[in-house]
Each structure stands twice: as C-alpha cells, then as structure tokens.
Structure 1
Amino acid sequence: MTSSTAPQTPAAAGARQWALLAVLAGNMLLDALEVSVLVVAAPAIGADLGLPPAGVQWTMSGFALGFAGLLLFGPQLAERRGRRRTYLAALALFAAASLVGAVATDPVVLVATRFVKGCCAALTAPMGLAIITSAFADGAARRRAVSVYAFFGAAGFTVGLLLSGLLTAWDWRWTLSFPAPVVAVLLVVGARVIPRDTPAPGTDPGRPDAAGALLLTGALFALVGGLSLVPADGWTGPRGSGLLLLSVTLFVVLGLRERVVSRPLVPAPLLRRPGLARAALGAACLNGAYLSTLLTSTLHIQGREGHGPLWTALAFLPASAPLACSALYSGRMIGRFGTRRLIAAGLSSALAGFVLLWHRGLNTPYPTGLFPALLLVGAGFVLAFTALNIQATAGVPDSGKGRASAVYQTAVQAGAALFLALTAALLPPASGRAVSAHAPALGAVVVIAALGWISAIGGLRPGLQDDPSRSTLVRRRTS
C-alpha cells in the first residue's frame, strides 16, 4: 500500500500527524475499555434482562468472539479495500452498534451488538498501529507515537472498569451508549487526517479469505454456546453436545481448508513456532482467568455483599491500575531480564493470586481476601503483559510479524470467551446468595491459570532460540 497526502508546511504536517495520533489513540482506548466496561455492569444487566450468569457472560464473550473472529481477516480486508476506508467504516459501525445496544431489550440483540463492536475493534486496533508506522517517519517521532498508542491500550481496561462503576450507578445502558458520540467525533476528525492509501502499482492483494473467517467465528461461537448450555442441559445435553460437536467439525473443516487456499488466515510456518504457541497459550490463560475472576467476584460482591457498582470497580483496581502505570517502562525490564523469565515470573505471581483467592474464598473480608489476590495478579500483568506480546513475534521475519501478532491476539480473545463461558457454567443462578457457590468457578480459574503457568515454565528450558536478544528489546521497548 502507498499513502498520498497533499504537500503541507512542516508546522501543518506536524499538527496533522498529532491530530491523527489523537484519533488513533482515542479509538484504541475505546477498543480496550470495551473489554472491561460491562464487567461491573454484569449484575445489573442480569437483573434487568432476567439472565443467569451463563447468559450474562455472553455480553462479555460476545465482544471477545467478534474480536477473535476478524483479527486474522482484517489485514487481508484492508489490503483489498484500503486501510483508511476500512478503518472509517469500522468506526461508523461501532458507533451505530453502541446506540442499538443501549436501547436493546432482547438479550440476543444486545449480544449481537457486542459481537459487532468486537468485529469493529478487530479491524481498528491493529490497523491503527499500521497507520502510525506508515504516517510517522522512523525514529523518535514514531517511537513516541507508538508509546502513546500502547499506553492508551494498556490504560483502556482500567478506564473501562471505572466508567462501568460510575455509569452503572445511574443506568447500565449508559455503559453501552457513551462511546457513540466519542466515536462520532473521531470519525469526523479521522476522515480529515487519516491518509489515503492505494495498492502499490502492479500488485494484486488477492481476495480475502472470508470463508475462513466465517468458519473460525462459527467454530468459536459453537464452542462457547455449547459450554453456556451446561447449566440448563448438563454436560451431556443434546443441545450442548450438538454445539460442541459442530465446533469440532468446523475447526476440522477450517484446518483442512487452510492447507489448500492461496491466502490462508494463518500461514502454516507460524503454527510451528513454539515461542508463538507458548505466548498465545500463556496470554489466553492469563486473560481468561482474570476476566473469569472479575465476573465471579462482581456477581458475589454486588449480590451477596450488596456493594454498589462504583465500590466494585474501585475494588478491582489493584489488578488493573499497576499495568496502566508501568506500561511505558516495561521495555526496560525486558531489556534487563529477557522475555521468558518475566513471563514465568508474571504467570507465577498471577497463579499465586488465583490460588490465594480460591483458598480464602470471596466471603473473606476484602483486605485479607480479594485485595492481596488482585495485587498478585496485577504484579503478574506488570511482569508478563508486554513480554508475552514481544515473545509472540520473536524470531519471526519482519514480513510476518503482523500476522504473528494477529494470531497471538486471536488466541487471547478466544481464550477470554472460552474461559468466561466455562466459569459461568459453574456458577448456579443463585450464586450471589450461596456462601460457597463461587468455589467451583474459582477452582476452574486456578486450573486455567495453572495451564498457562506450565506453558511459561516450559519456556525456561535451556537451548530455546525464540527469546530475542536484550539489545534488540531495548531498541524496541516502546513498541
């Protein structure tokens, strides 16, 4: 792709660049906060729409499924249609879905809007970084721009929790509608400052693999749907078993199809890279265990303990705020310790937090129960978050780093949806009133986190070549 803009004075060009960064970083913040903005609102949504935990989790996993389903397809679509055109269309659709979701009274419609917003985020979040690398010259300006973009992404989860606590206290529907006017402003400004791009002369990007994206999305939906039916039908119920069988079938068809298509969603060599596989598994387990803990905790805190949404959001900050505060300095830690040791230390800390919470239970007073557990989980994110992202693309040629990053992020989002459904299936409808009802769900969280920890510890074996050199990481600490 080539970009074209009209000649400008240096001052005007600089102002235009920073206006562009404001649009991209602002939208990245919205994409990131959508992951957490309904966490604290979950009990209110369940009470208003008559949904059990297995139904409420769809409002969170629906976004993750849309994100996971289109992350690999997005770059192909952008190559065919252009980054600017795709990005602006996704912004407009995101705003419309926000408004429809805010007035939805049918849970199916609400989940559908969340899925659409996840699809839009899958197009804009990685594409924003690509636009930055093409619009900012290599050097200090690009590093600053990438740092700002990454910081807004890291801070988005915390901002989402706080907004969820504030807005749910008025009406949970505000958590869905507030992005619409913000996105409208970003859309207007973005139409003026996002550079036009066209395919390079003599190149044909080819047809995007839409069928592959549909198969992947359908397989993930069937898997999560099968798990969500467990509370109603049991593990052997015909509906749940049928969906799980359908999921396996779609995954098999997708795997066979990827071997023969000219533009597969995931090139086969990437799937054989152990560093990428370990990073994807570790991040999926860490993210899934964390979100599952928040869902379980918010239902208990606002149900049995009777605390309000804002109190709940503030109670969760020890796990999310440290990452937002330390995101700009994570490259220094990686440059000193390397990625594999930080990942192992981070996932060990997070596992210790989940085990502590499972051992003490949610009925323990906050200062000695949930609080220290979340501090350990927060420390785990500080140590491992950036290291996992870098490890996923370590050793991959520059031409394939974007695709490797998309594979990694797809696993993270798919893990969130899958583990949320699994945990919610272990929460009975009356979990807020029962003293020990959360124990099976927290036990599942420990198993999920332990799986990621085993993967991280396996990465410490001597002789592995997928850990980038520290000097390289120092140069890339802001990316």
Structure 2
Amino acid sequence: MTSPATLSSTTGAWSPRLRALLITLCVVLFLDGLDVSMIGVALPSIGAELDLSTSTLQWVVSGYVLGYGGLLLLGGRTADLLGRRRVFLVALAVFALASLAGGLVSSGPLLILTRFVKGLAAAFTAPTGLSIITTTFAEGPARNKALSVYTVFGAGGYSSGLVFGGLMTGLGWRWNFLLPVPIALAALAAAFVLVPRSERVRDGGHDLLGAAFSTAAMLLLVYTIVSAPTAGWTSARTIGSFVASAALLGAFVAVERRVRHPLIRLGILRRGSLVRACLAIVAVAGSYFSWQFIVTLYFQDAIDWSPLQLGLALLPIGLMVAASSVFSDKLVDRFGTARIIAVSLAVMSVGYLAFLRLDTDPSYVTMVLPAMLLIGIGWIGFPAINIQATSGIDDDEQGLAAGVLQTSMQVGAAVVLAITSAVIATGADVTSSPHAALDAYRPGLEFGAAVAIVGALVAALALLPRRVELADEALDPVPEAEPEYVAGG
C-alpha cells in the first residue's frame, strides 16, 4: 500500500517533514557504522583495564557481528509483519540502552553481552530503516536520491568512527560506548514523531519455526566463521559447526516450502536484480573490510602509527563517500545501476592492486593516498547496489529484500575477513620486524584484491545484453515491469 508520505514525495521538492525523516534514519545508520570502527580502536585499552586475553578480547567485536549478521534476515521480515515504525522505535531504544550498559560494566563477559545486544538491535534498525525509505520515497529519482544519502551516512559512520575512536580513547575507552547514547536518544525522539505508521501484513502470520531455524543457522554460521581461525579450519569443531549450520539451513528451506505464511518467500531469491546486488555487496564490503583490517594492524603495530594518525589517513575515503551523495543518484538515473556497480568495482580493484606496492616506509602522498582515492571511488557504487536490490519489490516485502541484502553484506564480509585472517595466520611472524609483517600481510592484501576483481567481473557480465536477457528469464520467470534506470541491472 502506498503511504501518504510516498505520494507527497512524487510531487518534486521534498517537504521539511520528509527531509527530517531522512536525516533521522541516516543518523541511526551512521551510529551503526560509527560503533563498529570506534570500538576497534579502543580494544587495547579495554583489554588492559578489564584484564582480557587477546582471544577473549576479539569477542568484543565478534559479539556485535554475531547479533548483527545472525538476525538481519529476521529483522527485515519482522518489520514487514509487525509494522516498521514499531520495530524501529523498539530496536533503537534497545541500542541506546545497550550502549549505556557497555560504558558502565566492569566485566568482560558482560561487556561482550552488551555488544551482542547492540548487534541484535542494529539487525532490526538497519533493514527497517532501509524499508522505511523505500516505502516512503517513490521509486525513481526521489528514492534514488534518498538511498544515496542514506548509504553514504552508513559508510561515513564507519570511516568517521576511526577518528572519533582515537579521540575518545584518549579520554578513556568507556567514552566510545557512551558517545552514541545521547545521539541515539535524540534520534529516538525524532523518529517517534516523524516515522510514518505502516500497515501490518494482516494475513502474514508468524512463521516462528522458520524464524528459529534461519536465526540459528545464521548465528551458528557467523560464529563458526569468526572462531575458525582460532579453532582451525579443519578441526572437528569447525567442520561439525559448518555441517550443523547447513543442516539448519536445509531445515529452514524445508519449512518455508511447506508453511502457509513463510518468513521468506523463497521466490524473491529468483529476482536477478536482487541476486546481483547481493553478490556485488559481498565483493565491496568483503574486500574493503579485509583491506582495512590489514592496514590497521600493519600501520599501527609494524610501523608505529597512532590510532588517530591512522584514522586521519583513512579519512579521504570517508570524505569521498560523503561527497558522492551529491551526485550518485544522478549517475544512477543517467547510466543505470548495472554500469555504476561494474565501473565502481573495477576502479576499487585498481586501488587494491596499487596498494600492493606497499613497503616498510610508505610515502603517504605518492603511494598510500592515490590507492585510497581509487578505493574510495569504489564506494560510489554502494548506493546503486541498494537501489538495484529494492527496485520492483512490493512494499510488503521491502523489509525482506533489505534484510536479504544486508545479511549478504554482513555474512559475506565475515566470510571474506575470516579467510583473510586465516591466510595471514599462515604467514611469517608479524611481530619480528616490519619486513616480516609485510610478508605475512601481503597474501591477505592479494586475496582482498582478488575478491574485488571477481566482483567486478561478475557485475560486468550484467552489461552484456544477451547474458542479462537469459539470466533474467531464468531468475525472473514471471516478467515484471521495472523502471528504465535499472534496465540491465
């Protein structure tokens, strides 16, 4: 059903209320990205004060990934079933409370628990916020512009968190947890007033068994990926966990085929545009998170950069992502999503290849900065991925499509990062010298570049008219009219 807000957004200029709504949703997504990178900078201080071992300390980050990646799919569909406004408000309130608790606790296990709860809350706010936009702004230029601004805030939050993390850690690591609290509460108050009410799916029912199987499968999969580098990829524990996750996923599919009102309409996975968007987002996020993970370790541990120095060095990428909000929607309107995604991934791949020239005394101006600028250009295609994934999807399944896309991003990036970590672990001793560290990290850099290159090649295939036609016939057996700007993508 089309909401009144959607109708008003088709008239041209946005009303002040629509602008305020978009800003509120952007702030919440900004907090999600900010939280991840800020905490990463503070880990050494947290470990020192709470006396946590390195293996325990990793769960301060991994706990968030478990909650976020494992529950994203359920979060998107819950918003469709129970109402986007209700789910968004409750999840945002939980996020604020968990942030406050994280800044006050003095126990490692309790801190990890608050991180899991925050990830759980983000798993509901992220797809719900995206579906609020796609059901409020009319499909076409208005939605393209809104999604461009929205996705830029998410990426900008992650980049800005590195700088804020360095500053807050200087005051005390607890400020990394407390800083988001007043911002989240202000966004909650604004959302209470601005987020429109949406009709619940009256005949959707509640597929509790499917929800249990899908959530358990995603949680176990993410847990296995995160813990595999420590336990060993070929250990009985890791192999058994992968088998159990596959069994749970199989049980979920079996339930969805038989239940009257499934959690996921499996037919949505036959949409070519959604599948291509999911593959692209895995390539973009997986390659970048792996690259930044290595850069953070190498620049701080091997060549003695401070956290603030590193954050400022990476800032050009965040600034480029923010600047792209001015024109990314116009690029999509003119060239279509497929072209933008393929070109941006190709440029990003060139940036990773250029970064392979890294040495033990890198020049920031002549070596590091040019590579970062090319990688930053790659993020210009991120809004196009969101537009491609949600184009032509009915309003009552926008949350589902958003959940599928963002689950692909989180779980896919976790897979790529885990493999990168395993590749690094097989290298030389990274603590013996900068040269040894670089030798150990280089295979990880090469793997991240390979992921981006494969993503660019897959995206380029969609530009071949005959291949697109055959692919869409196979993936979309029932023809659906799509806007011109996503043709071929």
TM-score by length of 2: 0.80
Equivalent pair of 1:72/1:407 in contact (CA under 8 Å): yes
Gaps of 5+ in 2: 5-14, 473-479
Residue 302 of structure 1: how far off its partner (Å)? 1.5
Q: 2:454 aligns with which of 451, 460, 474?
A: 451
Q: 1:419 aligns with which of 395, 416, 421?
A: 416
Q: Which amino acid in structure 1 is aligned with residue 387 of structure 2? A: I
Residue 195 of structure 1: how far off its partner (Å)? 5.0
Residue 396 of structure 1: how far off its partner (Å)? 4.4
Provide the C-alpha distance between the structure 1 equivalents of 2:173 and 2:274, rounded to a whole number of angstroms.
Answer: 38
Q: Which residue of 1 aligns with 2:268?
A: 270
| Deviations, residues 240-284 of structure 1 (Å, cap 9, x unaligned) | 222222222222222222222233343222212233222211211
Q: Which residue of 2 aligns with 1:8?
A: none
Q: Which amino acid in structure 2 is aligned with residue 319 of structure 1? A: I
Superposition pairs for residues 129-140 of structure 1, below 5 Å? 129-131=130-132
| Deviations, residues 23-74 of structure 1 (Å, cap 9, x unaligned) | 433323212323433343455556665454x766544454344333333323
Provide the C-alpha distance between the structure 1 equivalents of 2:196 and 2:391, rounded to a whole number of angstroms.
Answer: 30
Q: Which amino acid in structure 2 is aligned with residue 167 of structure 1? A: M
Q: Which residue of 2 aligns with 1:74?
A: 75
Residue 394 of structure 1: how far off its partner (Å)? 4.1
Q: Which residue of 2 aligns with 1:116?
A: 117
Equivalent pair of 1:228/1:421 in contact (CA under 8 Å): yes
Q: Which amino acid in structure 2 is aligned with residue 206 of structure 1? A: G
Moved more, 396-405 or 323-332: 396-405
Q: Which residue of 2 aligns with 1:408?
A: 405
Equivalent pair of 1:226/1:242 in contact (CA under 8 Å): no
Provide the C-alpha distance between the structure 1 equivalents of 2:138 and 2:270, rounded to a whole number of angstroms.
Answer: 34
3-state SS of paired residue (1:36): helix
Q: 1:343 aligns with which of 341, 344, 350?
A: 341
C-alpha spacing 1:198/1:267, structure 2 compared with 1 (3 Å)? closer
Provide the C-alpha distance between the structure 1 equivalents of 2:268 and 2:139, rounded to a whole number of angstroms.
Answer: 27
Residue 205 of structure 2 is aligned to residue 206 of structure 1: yes
C-alpha spacing 1:142/1:461, structure 2 compared with 1 (3 Å)? closer
C-alpha spacing 1:460/1:321, structure 2 compared with 1 (3 Å)? same
Q: Which amino acid in structure 1 is aligned with residue 123 of structure 2? A: A
Q: Which amino acid in structure 2 is aligned with residue 312 of structure 1? A: L
What is the number of equivalent residue pairs in this alignment?
461
C-alpha spacing 1:227/1:469, structure 2 compared with 1 (3 Å)? closer
Q: Which residue of 1 aligns with 2:158?
A: 157
Equivalent pair of 2:343/2:456 in contact (CA under 8 Å): no
| Deviations, residues 3-24 of structure 1 (Å, cap 9, x unaligned) | 99xxxxxxxxx77666655543
Q: 2:384 aligns with which of 384, 387, 390?
A: 387
Residue 469 of structure 1: how far off its partner (Å)? 7.8
Provide the C-alpha distance between the structure 1 equivalents of 2:249 and 2:274, rounded to a whole number of angstroms.
Answer: 20
Q: Which amino acid in structure 1 is aligned with residue 460 of structure 2? A: I
Provide the C-alpha distance between the structure 1 equivalents of 2:233 and 2:26, rounded to a whole number of angstroms.
Answer: 43
| Deviations, residues 326-365 of structure 1 (Å, cap 9, x unaligned) | 1231122122322222222111111222223235356634
Q: Which residue of 2 aligns with 1:279?
A: 277
Superposition pairs for residues 266-415 of structure 1, below 5 Å? 266-360=264-358, 364-382=362-380, 384-396=381-393, 400-415=397-412
C-alpha spacing 1:135/1:353, structure 2 compared with 1 (3 Å)? closer
C-alpha spacing 1:84/1:343, structure 2 compared with 1 (3 Å)? closer
Equivalent pair of 2:151/2:382 in contact (CA under 8 Å): no
Provide the C-alpha distance between the structure 2 equivalents of 1:2 and 1:349, rounded to a whole number of angstroms.
Answer: 38
Provide the C-alpha distance between the structure 2 equivalents of 1:422 and 1:397, rounded to a whole number of angstroms.
Answer: 36
3-state SS of paired residue (2:39): coil
Q: Which residue of 2 aligns with 1:431?
A: 430
Moved more, 242-251 or 213-222: 213-222
3-state SS of paired residue (2:465): coil
Q: Which residue of 2 aligns with 1:461?
A: 464
Provide the C-alpha distance between the structure 2 equivalents of 1:473 and 1:147, rounded to a whole number of angstroms.
Answer: 15
Equivalent pair of 1:98/1:180 in contact (CA under 8 Å): yes
Equivalent pair of 2:34/2:161 in contact (CA under 8 Å): yes
Equivalent pair of 1:87/1:123 in contact (CA under 8 Å): yes
Q: Which amino acid in structure 1 is aligned with residue 116 of structure 2? A: F
Equivalent pair of 1:40/1:298 in contact (CA under 8 Å): no
Moved more, 251-260 or 185-194: 185-194
Moved more, 263-272 or 393-402: 393-402
Q: Which amino acid in structure 1 is aligned with residue 463 of structure 2? A: L
Q: Which amino acid in structure 1 is aligned with residue 340 of structure 2? A: L
Residue 377 of structure 1: how far off its partner (Å)? 1.0
Provide the C-alpha distance between the structure 2 equivalents of 1:154 and 1:414, rounded to a whole number of angstroms.
Answer: 17
C-alpha spacing 1:393/1:21, structure 2 compared with 1 (3 Å)? closer
Larger helix share, 1 or 2: 2
Moved more, 312-321 or 135-144: 135-144
Residue 381 of structure 1: how far off its partner (Å)? 1.2
TM-score by length of 1: 0.82
Residue 458 of structure 1: how far off its partner (Å)? 2.3
C-alpha spacing 1:420/1:340, structure 2 compared with 1 (3 Å)? same
C-alpha spacing 1:32/1:212, structure 2 compared with 1 (3 Å)? farther
Equivalent pair of 1:34/1:160 in contact (CA under 8 Å): yes
C-alpha spacing 1:276/1:204, structure 2 compared with 1 (3 Å)? closer
Q: Which residue of 2 aligns with 1:11?
A: none
